[in-house]
Amino acid sequence: MKKKLILLVLIFLCLSSVLAYANTGGVEGLTTVKGEVVQIVTHLKPDDLNAEQGSLIQEQQIVKVRVLTGEFEGREFLVENNLGSNEYYNIRVEEGDKILLVLDTTSDQMQVYISGFSRDFYEIIIILIFILLLLSIGRMKGLKSVITLSITLLVILKVIVPAIIKGISPIMISVIGSIVITVLTLTIVSGFSRKSLSAILGTLSGVFMAAGIAYVIGTLSKLTGLNSEEAVMLMYIPGDISLNLKGILFAGILIGTLGAVMDVSMSIASSMHEIKMIKNDISKRDLFNSGMNVGRDIMGTMSNTLILAYTGASIPILIIFTAYDISFLEIINLDIIATEIIRAVAGSIGIILSIPLTAAITVFTDK
């Protein structure tokens, strides 16, 4: 037991190191570093700039900033921070704010720009709270969960995404990644046993069938994959990179479905395993029915979870549609809405299909 714990901790530390120090690349001559706003030297209002309504620059801040990381750590610079009429694109800073600075060394004289706020400190805090709760409540299972989460992130960030950028089929690499994530996650959490084997096969069967249905429906409804600003930006990635946007869309549906289906399959396989342990002489039919009953209880809440997650992410655009009184017929036929509907329902289909599949596989693999 002690050796297993040490091994798990070492795996977790290795994965964390890879994720923490991964080289994210960048444009040559442009370096992003952390900084701090030391002083707002001047803040010019529209009247000071004689800016008319609709002018590109409405306000201007002259800001003294200090570099906190990198080669120029400790140096201070005066930076022009221009503000327009659209607050969405403005970076309105105050003294003491932690910010991101872009150092442009492509010319003889280095230029410094404010590119955004530094938010990683607060992200680390909430991640640490999450990990501490996992470890304090889950203990050994919690540690395994942290390790499997690290593996999932590693596979997505270091295998799936780079492979798609290199031109490999998004669907093919996502299928391979899903198999790797599922096998490693369920094996690490529950060990290699009939229970984990049933959960693995049930998960993959449900996910792939749901993804297949989503692909057919998405193709028939002529989804483009251009359902967000980020997706449109993929068309303008620098370099000779040709991306399959529709493939990326369905790869996202497949991976997005995986977590919920994995949860359901593991719950059913685990419950059926416990029933078998307590009542060893239970018939295969009764064991299957028990698994189905457990699955039915899970099905409603988990399907609701997926629908609510996707709906919650779409609330801003739903508010826009309501405010402009756009007809229901127009709304449901928009690419972005059709994509979200198919994404959410495909996940729910994966959950539903995984219930009988996992129950049947568990009965089949039972001694």
How far apart (Å, rounded) are the C-alpha atoms in residues 250 and 221?
Answer: 13
- pLDDT tens digits, residue range 234-280? 777 766 677 777 888 888 888 888 888 888 899 899 999 888 888 88
User: What is 30-117's CATH topology?
Assistant: OB fold (Dihydrolipoamide Acetyltransferase, E2P) (2.40.50)
Strands 59-67 and 98-104, by their bridges, are unpaired
Contacts 24+ apart (CB under 8 A), 56-59: 56/84, 57/82, 57/83, 57/84, 58/83, 58/84, 58/85, 59/83
The DSSP symbol for 226 reads: -
- pLDDT tens digits, residue range 175-192? 999 999 999 988 888 888
Alpha helices in 101-193 (DSSP H): 120-138, 140-155, 161-165, 170-190
Q: Per-residue pLDDT averaged across 275-286, rounded? A: 86
- pLDDT tens digits, residue range 351-361? 899 999 999 99
What confidence score (pLDDT) does residue 131 get? Answer: 87
- pLDDT tens digits, residue range 293-327? 988 888 877 777 777 777 777 788 888 888 888 88
- pLDDT tens digits, residue range 26-79? 567 788 999 999 999 998 888 877 777 767 888 888 999 999 998 889 999 999
What confidence score (pLDDT) does residue 50 get? Answer: 79
The answer to whether the 30-117 and 140-366 domains have the same CATH topology is no
Confidence tier at 9 by pLDDT (50, 70, 90): low
How far apart (Å, rounded) are the C-alpha atoms in residues 240 and 30?
Answer: 21
| SS3 assignment for 314-349 | CHHHHHHHHHCCCCHHHHHHCHHHHHHHHHHHHHHH
What confidence score (pLDDT) does residue 21 get? Answer: 45
Domain boundaries, the chain: 30-117, 140-366
* CA dihedral of 85, 86, 90, 93, whole degrees rounded to 10: 60
Which CATH number is 140-366 given?
1.20.1640
What confidence score (pLDDT) does residue 281 get? Answer: 81
